[in-house]
């Protein structure tokens, strides 16, 4: 049966949605505009413009080597600073301990070794041998 109008006698043409419209409708993305050209064509054009010469590659390689050299030198400098700081801290800690022993401790000479044997283990741990 044709799609004709009974009143006017003219044949009315029914337009079917295109494949792109069907895909958009089935995906429920009404906000997305249908593509007008293939994406692959743009990629080839961009790739042709992107071609580099050997001189460009050499220049990039030299630039990259210079950057890496600078980075290595900065890392080495930072490593040396950290090592110097750690050495300074260790020296200060040793000096602080020596000062604490010299000034803040009470020295008692123990001549009887049996006295040390009678002490508890905790007390023995607190003892320090010192040269006079």
pTM of the model: 0.42
- Report phi then psi at 11, rounded to 5: -85, 125
Tens digits of residue pLDDT in 60-112: 999 999 999 999 999 999 999 999 999 999 999 999 988 887 887 777 788 88
CA end-to-end span of the chain: 123
Helix H, strand E, coil C: the string for the chain is: CCCECCCCCCECCCCCCCHHHHHHHHHCCCCCCCCCCCHHHHHHHHHHHCCCCHHHHHHHHHHHHHHHHHHHHHHHHHHHHHHHHHHHHHHHHHHHHHHHHHHHCCCCCCCCHHHHHHCCHHHHHHCCCCCC
Please give the residue that has the higher pLDDT: either 126 or 66. Answer: 66
Kindly list the domain boundaries of the chain, sorted by start residue: 19-101
């Amino acid at each position: 049966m044709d799609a004709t109008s009974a009143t006017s006698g003219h044949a009315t043409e029914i337009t079917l949605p295109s494949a792109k419209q069907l895909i958009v409708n089935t995906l429920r993305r009404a906000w997305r505009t249908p593509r007008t050209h293939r994406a692959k064509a743009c990629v080839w054009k961009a790739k042709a413009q992107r071609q580099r010469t050997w001189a460009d590659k050499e220049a990039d390689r030299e630039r990259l080597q210079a950057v890496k050299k600078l980075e290595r030198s900065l890392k080495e400098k930072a490593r040396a600073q950290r090592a110097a700081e750690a050495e300074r801290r260790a020296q200060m800690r040793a000096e602080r301990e020596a000062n604490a022993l010299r000034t803040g401790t009470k020295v008692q000479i123990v001549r009887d070794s049996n006295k040390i044997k009678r002490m508890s283990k905790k007390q023995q741990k607190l003892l320090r041998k010192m040269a006079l």
